[in-house]
Structures are given as structure tokens and as C-alpha cells.
Structure 1
Amino acid sequence: MIGIAVLLAYALLVGLALPHALVRARWTQRAPGLAVLVWQGLLVSFVSSLVLLAHHVVVPDRHVHGGVLGLLHVCGAATADGVGAAVAGEAAQALLPLAAGVWPLGWYVLTVARAYRSRRHHAAQLDILARPAPELSAVLVEHAVPAVYCLPGRLRRVVLTRGALDVLSPQQLRAVLAHEQAHLVGRHHLITAATEAFAHAFPGLPLGRLARAETAVLLEMVADDRAARSHSPSALVGAMCEVAAARTPGFAFGLGGSAVLLRVRRLLHPRRGPHPAAWWSTAALTLAATVLPFVVACGPGLG
């Protein structure tokens, strides 16, 4: 019973309290990539603790490793007549933990599939409406409204409108393209899908709601930082201001994106990132947080 109490407390901490603390943290804007990692670690930790909590509820007097090893022992040592009943019993006990893990995983698969269908449909439209611009590694749409966005995934491409070409300087255009390429190279759509799926799987949970909102902004900051490494931050800021009002498909990444004013202030007034020791310590703690539920579930005396 101690294991159940500990896992429940841990799940509540990760799902309710830590998200609000992470939102208020000031270091996340200085290390957006690390902050994205922490958010993903919290999602994994919550699901792991939920699965293991379900196991302890179903089998309160047996650790996770005991159930697995016990099943293997039965399959290898029991008589033929007893194997079926033993395996069936183990399988029945695994239904609730399995459902706890399959539920968010199923939402992730569904979210990825839906986004892929939408991107495929949009790509088919671009094949008709847009013309290739190989000198820009992009496609060009004849539209007066300035807009820049990328279509991630297997159908990846960067999309520019004629309006964007008319208002952006050469320096701004190069910064824009670097920003969008950062989204594509970083496969940010898979991270976005994870937060979207989690928010749908656990509606109303602060972790899901805040992870989805914060990750969207942090990924834009990650792309900003990558573009600013090789291009002028002021050029990127100018481009963001020119296309901030443009609407882009929900399954794409647009330069305007989320929290434009916050990102502009961040680019114009950069702050030093965390010390490497602090960076690696935070990453290690995030990894430890994903493993901690298993340590609790398999620890001695916590059954």
C-alpha cells in the first residue's frame, strides 16, 4: 500500500504542481531546448507513474518485476495444464496497466495520423497553386498577404507568399528561411504531436494544458535561436513583425507563431544561457524523473 500512496503522490506532483512551477521559472526562456526536454520528461513521468499505479492497484502485493518474472517462471516451469490458467490470470491483471499506457499512446498515433492527412491535403493544394523556388529551397504562392511557414514531416517544404518576398529584405528572407528550416530539421512536429495527444488524453489536467501551450512557444524560441546563430537577430525580428499577422495552417509552423512580442524582446535583449553544469544537472534530473516511478514500483518494501 505504501507503493500506491507514493506513486499517487508522485503522479499528482507531476500532473498538478510541477507544471505551474515550470511556467513560472525564468530560466526556460534562456534555455528553451532544455525546457522542452523537461516538459517531455514530465509527460513520460506522469504516464509511467499512472501505468505503475494501475499495476499496484490490480496487484497490490506484488512488484512489477515480480509479475513479469513470475509469468516467465510459470511459462517455463508449470505443467501444460496449468500454464493456460496462469497466463490468463497474468494477462487479466495486466489489462488495467496496459490500458493506462495504450490510452495516451493511442492518442499520439491518432494525432500524428490526423496531422499527416491534413499536411498531405495541403501539399496537394500547394502542388497546384505554388511554383518551386529552388534558389530559396522553398515554394512560392502568388498571394499578396505576407506569410512564411513550413510544412513538416515527409512532405516537408517551406512556403512563401509573393507578399512576403515584396516586404522582406534579403537579410530578413535568409533569416526567415533559417528559422523554418530549424523547425524541419528538429522535427518539431513530433514534439507538438506529443503535447497535443497528451492534452487530449487527459483533458483538464494542468500538465497537458500547460505543456501544450508552453511547448509551442518554446519551439519557436528554439527555431529563433538556431536562425540567430547565423543571421542577424534584428533581421529576424523585422521579418517576424512583417508576417506576424499572417494566418498559417494549424499543422504547420509559421514565423509569426506564438508569443511574438515575447520572442522579439528575447531576441533584441539576449541573456546568457544557464551554466553548462546547471544545464546538464537539469537534464539529468529530468531523466531521473522518468525512471523514478520504476524505482518506486520495484523498490523493496513498497509493495
Structure 2
Amino acid sequence: MLPTVAGLGVVAVLLIGPVPAVLSRAHWVQREPRAVLVLWQALGLAAGLAAGGAVLAAALAPLAGSLPRALAAYVRAGALTGGLDVLHLFLLGAAVGLFGWLLAMTGVSSWRAGRMRSRQRELVDLVSTPWPNRVSPARATGAGARLIEHPAAAAYCLPGPSSRVVITTGALSLLEPDELDAVLAHEHAHLAERHDLLLLPFAAWSEALFGLAGTQRTRLAVAQLVEMLADDRACLGRDRNVLAAALARVGVAGATGVAPTGSLASTELALLPRVQRLLAPPAPSLSLRTLSYAAAVVVVTAPFWAFVLPLVVA
């Protein structure tokens, strides 16, 4: 079983450290953010499976030469110990605990995010007034848009069953009407595509691994791609320069840090790369899109082959 343990261990180490480090620094990802987000999801899932699978394979190694056969032997034993000694029982407990920890942290993160956003929505309703619909009212529908008195220019959304889009008075005074309209469209794009659900597993992954640098890097890279996706949707039928000008105004004014934790904010993250991408949009690439999806399939099935290949070879 040593090849299985080693193979899964190598896959886990690569997918937690070096691979995310390289991908997070790549500039070509801006050309196909949606496909690259699928690749990021595959990396996270495969890393968790490989890490847990390596420990599980080490635990069951005395029972058979391949993990499928070892699992079958453990089940046939009909006892909790399954014929394992103390060390391997400890490893088995560690494997079960690791998988359980990852699942539990996903549930805890979901619950925390939902509770936090619910509280934020309550607070927003207390301190805000309904959006006056002075800027392109047709685009201000679909969510309870609210206006908050605050000197800093900010716009953010609070996803959930009763979503909110929030605009500050600072944004009203700083941005031109068409720029504010573009920012609103960006926030509605987040809500329409449920980007909060896309970000949730990466937040849980980071928390489960206690904020390791690799997981934090992954979380930031994914968040930036999500913002670019919302930018693209907001600019459908709209001049991209308008949204770029809005983000540039906010960046020059230094009006960041207003959006609460748990929100999705158009004016908070990676302003300079997004402005550059809006002003000089990279050409979509079918080859990069295809390679990203193909790489996602390869990555997510890598732990499976580490399980199966020893069985096939044997």
C-alpha cells in the first residue's frame, strides 16, 4: 500500500501548496475566470480527498495491498478494530476525524455566514432608507436596495433569502449617475449568480486548515476572480470604461473598508487589476477554457486513480 500512501500524500502536498501558489500568480486566468474557478474548486476537493485518503490508506495498509481491498477486508472483519493494531487504529481514527473535520467546518462556515448576513441585513434595515431609484430604476430591481449615510463611497450586497444591495451617500456624491448604475449592476450580478455559495467552500477550507498561507492565497485568488465575473456581467450592454472609472474613483479616494464582513463588495477588492482588465479586456480563449476544464477533471480524479491503480496493477 506504500505507493498509494505516497501517491496520495504527494497529490495532497502539491494541491495545498505549490499548485495554488503558481495558479494564484498567473495572469492568464483573467481571460477565462469562470473556467479557472471550476479548476480552483477541483483543486480544493481533490486536496481534501487526497489528504484524508493518504491517512486512510496508511491506517488500512496491514489488511491488503490496495485501498479498495483493504476497505473490503476491514468491513468483512465485522469488528471496530478490524484486526488492526493500536497504531493503525489511531491512524484510522485520524482519517475519519479529518474527513469529519472538513465536513463539519463546511457546515459551521455556512451557518456562521448565514447568521452574520442575517444580522447585517437587520442592521442595514435599521440605519438605512430605501434606495431612491434615481439612477436607472430598471436596474435597481430584484433586491432590496438601501441607502446608508456614510461619507465613504461604497457599494455591497448581502446575499441570502432576503438579499440587500447597499449604497452609501458617499457613493452618490463621488460617482457619476452612469458609474453608480454600473456599480449597482455589479452587485446584482453577485446576487444573480449566487457568488456567495461559490466562495463558501474556500472559506471553510481556509478555516479547516487554520488559515495556512496556501489556503489564504487560494481564498483571495478565488474572490478576485468572482469580482471579475461580476464585472463582466455588469458590463453586458454597458461601456466597460464606465465601471472602470467608478472603481478608479473609489481607489483614488481611498474609500475602502466600509463593507461589513460577509458581504460582497464591488469597491473593496483588487481594484487596480480589475480596472486594468476593464480598460483592456483580455480576449477570451477557447483553448485556455478547454484546458482549464480538462485540468479540473484530471485534478479531481487524481485521488480516485491513486485508489484504483494499485488494484488494477495487482
> TM-score, normalised to structure 2's length?
0.84
For the pair 1:66 / 2:92, whether they are aligned, the reply is no
> Equivalent residue for 2:80?
88
Residue deviations 1:45-82 (CA, integer Å, cap 9, x gap) = 1101012111111111254433554566x4xxxxxxxx
Report how many aligned residue pairs link the two structures.
Answer: 291
> Equivalent residue for 2:30?
29
Match of 2:184 among 177, 198, 220: 177
Q: Which amino acid aligns with 1:51?
A: G
Q: Name which of structure 1's ranges 262-271 and 85-94 shifts more when overlaid on structure 2.
A: 85-94
Match of 1:196 among 192, 203, 219: 203
- Unaligned runs of 5+ residues in structure 2 are none
Residue deviations 1:262-288 (CA, integer Å, cap 9, x gap) = 1111111112122x2331232122122
Provide the alpha-carbon RMSD of the alignment.
Answer: 2.4
Q: CA 1:15 to 1:143, structure 2 compared with 1: closer, same or farther past 3 Å? A: closer
Kindly indicate whether the alpha-carbon contact (under 8 Å) linking 1:56 and 1:62 is maintained by their aligned counterparts in 2. no
Residue deviations 1:122-142 (CA, integer Å, cap 9, x gap) = 111122222223642312223
> Equivalent residue for 1:260?
271
> Equivalent residue for 2:107?
109
For the pair 1:291 / 2:301, whether they are aligned, the reply is yes
Shift of 1:237: 1.3
Q: Secondary structure at the match of 2:166?
A: strand
1:38-77 aligned at under 5 Å gives the runs 38-60=39-61, 61=64, 63-70=66-73, 74=76
CA distance in 2, matches of 1:68, 1:6: 18
For the pair 1:18 / 2:16, whether they are aligned, the reply is no
> TM-score, normalised to structure 1's length?
0.87
> Equivalent residue for 1:98?
96
Kindly indicate whether the alpha-carbon contact (under 8 Å) linking 1:172 and 1:238 is maintained by their aligned counterparts in 2. yes
Q: Which amino acid aligns with 1:8?
A: G
CA distance in 2, matches of 1:177, 1:126: 17
CA distance in 2, matches of 1:287, 1:101: 21
- Unaligned runs of 5+ residues in structure 1 are 75-84
For the pair 1:131 / 2:129, whether they are aligned, the reply is yes
CA distance in 2, matches of 1:172, 1:15: 39
CA distance in 1, matches of 2:170, 2:6: 59
CA distance in 1, matches of 2:106, 2:267: 26
Kindly indicate whether the alpha-carbon contact (under 8 Å) linking 1:243 and 1:255 is maintained by their aligned counterparts in 2. no
CA distance in 2, matches of 1:201, 1:253: 22
Shift of 1:176: 0.9
Q: Secondary structure at the match of 1:234?
A: helix
Residue deviations 1:114-156 (CA, integer Å, cap 9, x gap) = 2222211111112222222364231222334322110112231
For the pair 1:282 / 2:289, whether they are aligned, the reply is no
Instruction: Give identity over the alignment, percent.
Output: 30
Shift of 1:203: 3.5
Structure 1 stretches (4+) deviating beyond 4 angstroms? 67-72, 90-94
CA distance in 2, matches of 1:5, 1:145: 53
CA distance in 1, matches of 2:236, 2:11: 39
Q: Secondary structure at the match of 2:310?
A: coil
Match of 2:222 among 215, 219, 243: 215
